[in-house]
Amino acid sequence: MYTTAVFLYIQRNIVVVLSGPSPRRFMPVYSKPLTLSKGVDNQLQFQFLNQDQKPVDVTGLEITFRAIDQTGSTILFQQSLDSVYPANGIMQLNLNSSTLVPVDAQQCFYTLSIPSQDGTMNFPVYVDQAAQARGDLAIVNAILPSVVPSLKVTIPSAQGIPGLDGPYTFNSNDQPMFGAGNTVWHSSVITNDNNPILTLQMEYYQYTGNVAILGSCTGNGDWAPITSYTYSNITNTLGYVIEGFYPFVQVAFEANANNIANGFDILSNIYAR
């Protein structure tokens, strides 16, 4: 038998308000990333300090926590902090599990702003020495992972089926893995929703050629190879695991030219999850 240690603690982050009589600027060196887990209640604590490294009295102040998507254009949710030790500048986000139900797991940001004691002004709160007002936040399916149904990925009909409907040739700018003039097919674009792991399943029938899995930040271009494979007359169902934050994924196929005329190189289906 063996014992596994587990830890119960509340994530606490020091944030800085530029207030007080000192001309110095105190900043934490690093912005500590925070994590919220879908499916359970969450608590985050913040301690508000001034540039003298002294606690800011937050008694009676309404401070709002906002989660903002990666583009900075959408507030995913917002909620007021609760007082814990207000005289010591400590407040807490008590987040009910239902708040994150409509929010997808993703890498995003959080922001805080603090009103002045007289309520006439609203000040930014800084998370690191570079005076950044946004901190890193991860919303994850860690405790109760959600079930993501498999998505059947197609090859757009304009290209035909690899090895069955004849060649479809892209120019060199559209072929990050293969040389110009080769016979290449691209799958439709797979939207990964910032998940750190993507699994693919492909069904091959007498396939000979190269396969490349590509990633992109935009989905409209700038495709870069993640991994590639070469097969010879394969008839099998194979699985692939892609690790890393790739917003968009696509599969490229370079079928063997000798087999295209005979219709031997056929990719049946692609499933993504």
Structure confidence at residue 195 (pLDDT): 73
The mean of the pLDDT values for the chain is 78
From the centroid of its chain, how far is CA 34?
14
pLDDT confidence bin for 41, thresholds 50/70/90: very high
Structure confidence at residue 262 (pLDDT): 36
Structure confidence at residue 129 (pLDDT): 67
Structure confidence at residue 65 (pLDDT): 94
Kindly tell me if the per-residue pLDDT of 118 is higher than 90: no
User: What's the Cα-to-Cα distance from 201 to each of 118, 154, 176, rounded to whole Å?
Assistant: 60, 12, 22
Kindly tell me if the per-residue pLDDT of 115 is higher than 80: yes
Residue for token digits 């139900």? 101
Query: Domain 151-272, what architecture?
Result: Sandwich (2.60)
Kindly tell me if the per-residue pLDDT of 77 is higher than 70: yes
Read off the pTM.
0.56
d(CA 174, CA 184): 9
List all residues 6 or more positions away from 237 whose beta carbon is below 8 Å from its beta carbon.
201, 202, 203, 204
Q: Which residue has the higher pLDDT, 77 or 26?
A: 77
Contact between 115 and 122 under an 8 Å Cβ cutoff? The reply is yes
Q: What percentage of the chain reaches a pLDDT higher than 70? A: 74
Q: Which value, in Å, is the radius of gyration of the alpha carbons in the chain? A: 26
pLDDT confidence bin for 142, thresholds 50/70/90: confident
Structure confidence at residue 212 (pLDDT): 86
Of 37-41, 180-184, 206-210, 228-232, least confident by mean pLDDT is: 180-184
Nearest to 190 by CA among 272, 104, 70, 253: 272
Query: What would the two tokens of residue 150 be?
Result: 């498999």
d(CA 238, CA 68): 38
Of 13-22, 194-203, 217-226, 230-239, least confident by mean pLDDT is: 13-22
Averaged over 112-132, what is the pLDDT? 77
Half-sphere exposure of residue 226: CA atoms within 13 angstroms, side-chain side: 20
Q: Classify residue 114 as left (phi > 0), alpha (psi -120 to 50) or beta.
A: beta
d(CA 52, CA 228): 55
Nearest to 26 by CA among 53, 55, 57: 53
Averaged over 122-134, what is the pLDDT? 77
- Class of domain 11-140 (CATH, top level): mainly beta
User: What's the Cα-to-Cα distance from 79 to each of 57, 64, 123, 125, 257, rounded to whole Å?
Assistant: 20, 6, 17, 16, 59
Q: Which residue has the higher pLDDT, 157 or 156?
A: 156
Break the chain into its structural domains and give their ranges: 11-140, 151-272
Q: Which residue has the higher pLDDT, 256 or 68?
A: 68
Q: Which residue has the higher pLDDT, 235 or 65?
A: 65
Of 14-18, 53-57, 141-145, least confident by mean pLDDT is: 141-145
pLDDT confidence bin for 8, thresholds 50/70/90: confident
Q: What is the DSSP string of 36-64?
A: EETTS-EEEEEEEE-TTS-B---TT---E
Structure confidence at residue 167 (pLDDT): 45
List all residues 6 or more positions away from 157 whose beta carbon is below 8 Å from its beta carbon.
none
Structure confidence at residue 14 (pLDDT): 81
Q: What percentage of the chain reaches a pLDDT higher than 90? A: 19
pLDDT confidence bin for 27, thresholds 50/70/90: low
pLDDT confidence bin for 166, thresholds 50/70/90: very low
Query: What would the two tokens of residue 164 be?
Result: 């069955």
Contact between 17 and 55 under an 8 Å Cβ cutoff? The reply is no
